Structure 1
Amino acid sequence: MTVGVVGGWVRRRVEAARKAAATRGDSGMTAIEFVLLTPVLFFMIFATVQFALYFFADHVAQAAAQAGARKARATADAQPGGWRGEAQDVVDSYISQLGPQLVLSPDVTMLQPEANTVGVEITAQVPTVFPGLDLTVHAQSVGPVERFVQDGGN
């Protein structure tokens, strides 16, 4: 009977020691994990923001280029030299309305690759979250000049 009591007591002490060792062995692990994973988490958040900034700036530049090209296509036949100024005004208006702080220092070029074709090309800087990162967006839209011809029918 004494052996059974001693054996039970020893068993309880061993289990208590195992629990204490398991608890003691994990102390501080949460702090270490937090220290190691926090920079990764912040990098992922900033990368997501940078991704969104870049693609929104790309969409703004593309919309401005398409709007400028539409204006150039519509007015190039009526005003052979004046379409450039009107298309530039439309591009500037689009950029100022959609993303003035997002499309930085846009370089707008009016294109006329062929006799009956006009277009707009935009290259601009994108604001960055990461220091030293240099991102640019490029958008181009080209199309044929619209010509309105009177119907020669009977």
Structure 2
Amino acid sequence: MREPAGQHDLRGLSGRGPRRGAREGDEGTTALELAFVAPALLLLVFTTVQVGLWFHGRNVALQAAREGVSQLRVIDDAAQAAGERPRVEDRVLRYASTLGGESLLEPRVASSWVVEADGNARVSVTVTGRVVSLVPGLALTTTQQAFGEVERFERAEL
């Protein structure tokens, strides 16, 4: 039977009649599904962000160690290296603090300049720090090390 013009069946819109596609007893299932899915999605998001923060802190420590190695490699004398190492370590510490900002906390630097048995001098710089954490009580640290051989500058023969 056809309804008169201007009159429509509004039972489905008023909330009193059954919804289209809804089965009897399905009320509240969306909220229940969201209660299970939302924590899993939040955990996935926070884990992704935490992994990204850890990788960033790790990269900052590695780049700071490389910077220190590049500064120590040009020192060709053990006595001069002993005097320069504290200054280089201080510059690496400032570099890591500046570049890392809040992602690499409490950076520490250690370096070495040693002459190997073959007569070549090698340098290494180690940067260790705490990575910022989204989870209270979770202590993530990173230690990165860079090595290099001391450059030898020789006079070119003419």
Query: Which residue does 1:77 correspond to in 2?
Result: 77
TM-score using structure 1 length: 0.77
Query: Which residue does 1:130 correspond to in 2?
Result: 135
Cα deviation 1:42-88 (Å, max 9, x = unaligned): 11111111011000001100100000010011125382312312321
Shift of 1:97: 2.3
Is contact 2:97-2:107 (8 Å) kept? no
Aligned length: 136
Is 1:106 the counterpart of 2:107? The answer is: yes
- Give the letter aligned to residue 75 of structure 1: I
Is 1:42 the counterpart of 2:68? The answer is: no
Cα deviation 1:88-120 (Å, max 9, x = unaligned): 133123213211211111121112354411110
Comparing 25-34 and 91-100, the one that deviates more:
91-100
Identity %: 37
Q: Residues of 1 paired with 2:20 and 2:131: CA distance? A: 55
Residues 18-57 of structure 1 aligned to structure 2 (within 5 Å): 22-57=22-57
Q: Residues of 2 paired with 1:84 and 1:76: CA distance? A: 13
- Could you say which structure has the higher helix fraction? 1
Q: Alpha carbon RMSD of aligned pairs, Å?
A: 2.3
Larger radius of gyration: 1
Q: Which runs of 5+ in 1 are unaligned?
A: 1-18
TM-score using structure 2 length: 0.76
